[in-house]
Amino acid sequence: MILPKMPNFNLEGKRALVTGASSGIGIGCACALASSGAEVTLAARSLPKLKELHDEMNSKGWSSHILQLDIAEPKQIFEKISGDKAFDILVNSAGMGRHSNALDTTVEDFDAVMNVNLRGAYFITQAVAKNLVKEEKAGSLINISSQMAHVGGIDRSVYCASKFAVEGFTKAMALEFGPNKIRINTICPTFILTPMTQQTFDDPEKRAWINSKIKLDRVGEVEDIMGAVLYLASDASSLVTGSSLLVDGGWTAD
């Protein structure tokens, strides 16, 4: 009998780009990839935070580089990514939310959220995919979406719209990129305890709502995303594309 061989989670020799790498989930994703052997380029707007992360990661013997990038500006994406050597892995963790009742949504808030969560996600994915196609390389593209891409949320009409759209273009791109051996998927976390979400968790009413929806009876931690991103980035998920990996503690199971 020939036993099946365990798929490889090792990322040695792979180049990875992580956007939104300066905080929260982005830091977790960068550490997951780097600790598994990938050479990780850390991209975000905040240069001081990137330098701090870069120094901490390199002190562990991991390989990382810094790229100051605002994905809300397509011109920056085209200039800084399009002419670069292809990345084998993309993790787009850059995102933002401006939550309000739908009746109170302003054009400014709508555009700000869409420019990052949708337009930025779309064109960073396009830029990385173009380089892979040009170099005839396989790759894994991962967008950090949200459980709110599968359900509605009070005061989150714009945010939900942006994330539902990410799910849509991910599936369409999976069909187009498949023949090039380029996989594209999303990770959809529940509320993860980060500096960006701390204000929500500090509100007793909102905290109670979150706790009532998460069936595993605990909030999400950054570490909960790390295994998911390693799985999708590695050969262990070589037949997975156009999919959403929900890390939501059972929120969407209702």
User: Residue 144 has which token pair?
Assistant: 């950090």
Strands (E), the chain: 15-19, 39-44, 63-68, 89-92, 139-144, 182-189, 244-247
Residue 231: active-site member = no
Do the Cβ atoms of 62 and 130 come closer than 8 Å? no
Give the CA dihedral 66, 96, 172, 231, nearest 10 degrees: 60
Residue 237, CB half-sphere, CA atoms under 13 Å: how many?
25
Set 87, 159, 177, 231: catalytic member = 159
Please report, for residues 7, 94, 97, 241, the alpha-carbon distance to residue 236 in angstroms, rounded to integers and kept in the order given. 5, 25, 32, 12
- CA 76, distance to chain mean position in Å, is 19
State which amino acid sits at residue 148.
M
Cβ neighbors of 139 (< 8 A, separation 6 or more) are 86, 87, 88, 89, 90, 128, 129, 132, 181, 182, 183
> In this structure, which amino acid lies at residue 253?
A
Q: For residues 31, 34, 39 and 43, what is the CA-based torsion angle, rounded to 10 degrees? A: 0
Catalytic residues: 159
